[in-house]
A and B are shown apart, each in its own frame.
Chain A
Amino acid sequence: MTGGVYTLAIRDLTKVFRIKTGGFRHADLKAVDGVTLSIPPGRTLAVVGESGSGKTTLARLILRLLEPTHGTVLLEDTDITSMQGTELEKVRGRMQIVFQDPYDSLSPWQTVGRTVAEPLLLHENLSMQQARGRVADMLERVGLSPAHARRYPHELSGGQAQRVGIARAMVTKPALVVLDEPTSSLDMSVQSQILLLLQSLQEEMNISYLFISHDLSVVRYIADDLAVMYLGKVVESGPSAGLFASPRHPYTEALLRAAPRPDPSHKTDHIYLVGEQPSALNRAPGCPLYGRCPIAEVACADTPQELAQVGSDHRVACWKRT
Chain B
Amino acid sequence: MTEHKILRVDLSNNTFEEEDIPPNIEEKYLGGKGLVAYYMYKEIKPRTDPYSPENKLFIFNGPLAFVYPTFTKIAIGAKSPLTGTFCDSYAGGSFAIELRRAGYTGIIVEGKSDKMVCLKITRDEKRLIECDNFRGKTTYEVGDYFTGYSILTIGPAGENLVRFAGIFIDMRSRPLSRPGVAGRGGLGAVMGSKNLKAIIVRGWMGLEDLGLRIDLEKRSQLINRYMEVLKKEVVPAIGLGSNLPVFKLSAEAKILPVKNFRLGVHDKWEELTEDGWRKIFVGRHTCPTCPVACGVKVREAGKQTGKIEYETVAMTGSNILVVDRPHVIELDEVLNALGLDTISAGNVAAFATELVERGILDYPLKWGDVEGYKRFYYDIAYRRGVGDIFAEGVARAADHFNAHEYAVHIKGLEIPAYDPRGVVGMALAYATADRGGDHLRAWTVVAEISMRPSLEDLVKLVIHLQNRNAALWTLIACDNIVGGFADPEAGTKLYVEMLNTLGYEYDYERFIRLGERIYNLTRLINNLDGIYRDRDALPQRFHEKREDTGWRIAPDDFRRMLDLYYRYRGWDERGAPTESLLKDLGILR
Is chain B found bound to chain A in the same assembly? Answer: no
Taking Cβ atoms with an 8 Å cutoff, the residues of B that contact A are none
